[in-house]
């Protein structure tokens, strides 16, 4: 498994902008992911993920030089709607792994639910959620 260095003190600025906070609030109001513009899929986020993951899939480590690169949500955005723009929830992966994983997210314990987390705090919730839920899939978003 490749070691990734994801800087949580240097979150892509686009993920902290007002438009993302507005989309976050829309998701909270509707209790579902409802951003038809997929505002996590922007060039600056893709570039950072390409560098962090060395142009490899976070799951299977396939080289993605000429292959389609997907921005994947470790915790599915359709279930964990408040984490759609969370830096620690975004990974780079290949199309095969992205479609195979889909909305699956097997965990040992009960799933966390939205408990009023503020937009400014969503980028660092993954570790605590991993401790609570004990996912059965490795979180490729953290340094080992």
pLDDT tens across 104-130, in order? 999 999 999 999 999 999 999 999 999
Contact 54, 62 (CB under 8 A): no
Instruction: Provide the phi-psi class of 38: left if phi over 0, else alpha when psi is between -120 and 50, else beta.
Output: left
Partnered with residue 56 across adjacent β-strands are 63
Q: What's the token pair of residue 92?
A: 């780079």
Share of residues in the chain with pLDDT > 70 (%): 95
Helix (H, G, I), strand (E, B) or coil at 81: helix
Helices (DSSP H) in the chain: which residue ranges? 18-30, 43-52, 95-101, 126-133
- Read off the pLDDT band of 3 (50, 70, 90): confident
Residue 143: pLDDT above 50?
no
- Read off the pLDDT band of 141 (50, 70, 90): low
- Read off the pLDDT band of 7 (50, 70, 90): confident
Looking at residue 5, its pLDDT comes to: 80
Residue 131: pLDDT above 60?
yes
Tell me the whole-structure pTM to 2 decimals.
Answer: 0.91
pLDDT one-digit tens code per residue, 48-86: 999 999 999 999 999 998 888 999 999 999 999 999 999
Residues near 53 by beta carbon (within 8 Å), at least 6 away in sequence: 2, 4, 91, 92, 140
Helix (H, G, I), strand (E, B) or coil at 56: strand
């Amino acid at each position: 498994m490749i070691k990734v260095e994801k800087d949580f003190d240097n979150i892509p600025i686009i993920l902290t902008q007002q438009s993302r906070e507005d989309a976050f609030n829309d998701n909270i109001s509707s209790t579902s992911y409802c951003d038809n513009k997929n505002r996590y899929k922007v060039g600056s986020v893709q570039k950072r993920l390409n560098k962090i993951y060395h142009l490899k899939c976070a799951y299977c480590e396939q080289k993605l030089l000429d292959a389609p690169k997907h921005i994947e949500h470790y915790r599915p955005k359709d279930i964990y709607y408040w984490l759609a723009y969370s830096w620690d929830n975004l990974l780079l992966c290949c199309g095969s792994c992205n479609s195979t994983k889909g909305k699956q997210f097997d965990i040992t314990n009960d799933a966390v639910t939205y408990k009023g987390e503020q937009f400014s705090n969503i980028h660092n919730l993954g570790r605590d959620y991993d401790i609570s839920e004990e996912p059965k899939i490795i979180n490729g978003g953290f340094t080992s």
